[in-house]
Structure 1
Amino acid sequence: MTAPDSHPLVATRAWVETFVVAHDVCPFAGRELARGTIRYAEAAADDWEAALLTLIEECQRLDETPGIETTLLVLSRGVEDFDDYLDLLAIAEALLAEQGYEGIYQLASFHPDYCFEDAEPDDPGNFTNRSPWPMLHLLREASLEQALAHYPDDPAQIPERNIAEMHRLGRVRLAESLAALRDVSRRG
């Protein structure tokens, strides 16, 4: 079992608070943070089979625990390379479907070197999906649909608004902030 104050989890919690919520990247995260319904779990991805088993165990935990709204499965080692991470993500998505979780849980993807398919690596817009550690974010689809249905603005504008905010903040500032989150967790 992972210590609740492991370096990757400390950095991830700080990232959720000081980046995701503070910059309203996910307009629904602040509520879940305040309610304490975000679960942080850690797995090493140097053994993909074990990491994927942990992902399914986290789905089962969500099945059994309605008080957990979402899970951030932080991958502490093994997928530092973004292409390796994408390969694992593809297998994880296929596994969720195979295990009957398609339509129940959705995976959102985050990685320190995240780069959208048609973007340049130094495009600030990539920071909407950059995190201090690689992770697989499990979301309850029913909750997501409900939140989007009650969202006062057009939900399709969220990604565009986030990209504009990342450009406003600038690549250098964002990169320094992300690096600082990883460093803070190591000093703790």
Structure 2
Amino acid sequence: IRYVVSAAATEEALLADLLHELEFLYDADPAQIETTLLIHPYVLNDFLDYNDFLEVVDAAISELDLGGEIQVASFHPDYQFAGSAPDAIENFSNRAPYPILHLLREASIARAVEAFPEASKIYQRNIDTLRQLGLAGWRALWLEPSA
């Protein structure tokens, strides 16, 4: 896993970093770099702006002719699925301490699906687990144990 913390403070600078990382991942030996987490703590902290930027991400993949080669998963501190309340527990499946663009090789995803025939159920299982845990249970996971 390649971890890149972007210093970008504007969407334009983040796009430049994204283009670089898409090309870098595509050109890299998969045995050396399988996936990249592009962490960008200084830009797109508003979830709606971040969500809008995902269209720019898709356009960048098309511009570099990387469709079918690389896809991007999205994580954000305030991630919110369409139609869900901001504090709905299922949103936590895509939350992270900072906004992150996770660049994934589609070939890697295909291998994972082959190795785990029920891979498509993982997402729903995660949501079900979060719902069983509930918001109070989730928050309790992050509290320090009492003395």
Of the structure 1 ranges 69-78 and 169-178, higher mean CA displacement relative to structure 2 is found in: 169-178
1:124 matches 2:89: yes
1:155 aligned partner: 119
SS in 2 for 1:114: coil
Note the C-alpha offset of 1:160: 0.9
Quote the Cα distance in structure 1 between the aligned partners of 2:43 and 2:139.
22
Q: What amino acid does structure 2 have at the position aligned with 1:56? A: L
**Unaligned 5+ residue runs, structure 1?**
1-37, 181-188
Do the aligned partners of 1:70 and 1:140 also contact (CA within 8 Å) in 2?
Answer: yes
Overall identity of the aligned pairs, in %: 42
Encode CA deviations 1:99-119: one digit per residue, 9 max, x unaligned. Answer: 111111000000000010121
The letter for the 2-side match of 1:158 is I
Pick aligned residue for 2:111 from 128, 146, 150: 146
Question: Is contact 1:45-1:79 (8 Å) kept?
Answer: no
Measure the CA separation in 2 of the matches of 1:156 and 1:97.
25
1:77-123 CA-to-partner distances (Å, cap 9, x unmatched) read 12111001111121111111111111110000000000101211111
Displacement, 1:158?
Answer: 1.1
User: Residues 11 and 44 of structure 2 are in contact (CA less than 8 Å); yes or no, is this contact kept in structure 1?
Assistant: no
Instruction: Report runs of 4+ in structure 1 exceeding 2 Å deviation.
Output: 172-180
Q: C-alpha separation between the residues in 2 aligned to 1:179 and 1:78?
A: 28
Distance 1:179 1:57 in 2: 38
In 2, Cα distance between equivalents of 1:137 and 1:52: 14
Q: What's 1:4 paired with?
A: none
Greater share of helix residues, 1 or 2?
1
Per the TM alignment, residue 174 of structure 1 is displaced from its structure 2 partner at its CA by 3.0
- State the one-letter code of the partner of 1:41: V
Q: Which residue of 2 aligns with 1:170?
A: 134
Change in CA separation of 1:63 and 1:69 when aligned onto 2, cut-off 3 Å: same
How far residue 44 of structure 1 moved from its aligned partner, in angstroms, is 3.8
The alignment yields a C-alpha RMSD, in angstroms, of 2.0
Q: Report deviation, 1:176.
A: 6.4
2:70 to 95, 105, 125: 105
- Report how many residues are paired: 142
1:175, distance to aligned residue in structure 2 (A): 4.7
SS in 1 for 2:18: helix
Amino acid at match of 2:4: A
Change (3 A) 1:179 1:114: farther
**Higher alpha-carbon Rg:** 2
Q: Relative to 1, partners in 2 of residues 1:117 and 1:178: Cα closer, same or farther, differing over 3 Å?
A: farther
What secondary structure is seen at the aligned counterpart in 1 of 2:138? Answer: helix
Deviation of the 1:173 alpha carbon = 4.1
| SS in structure 2 of the partner of residue 103 of structure 1 | coil
* TM superposition score normalised by structure 2: 0.87
In 1, Cα distance between equivalents of 2:27 and 2:79? 32
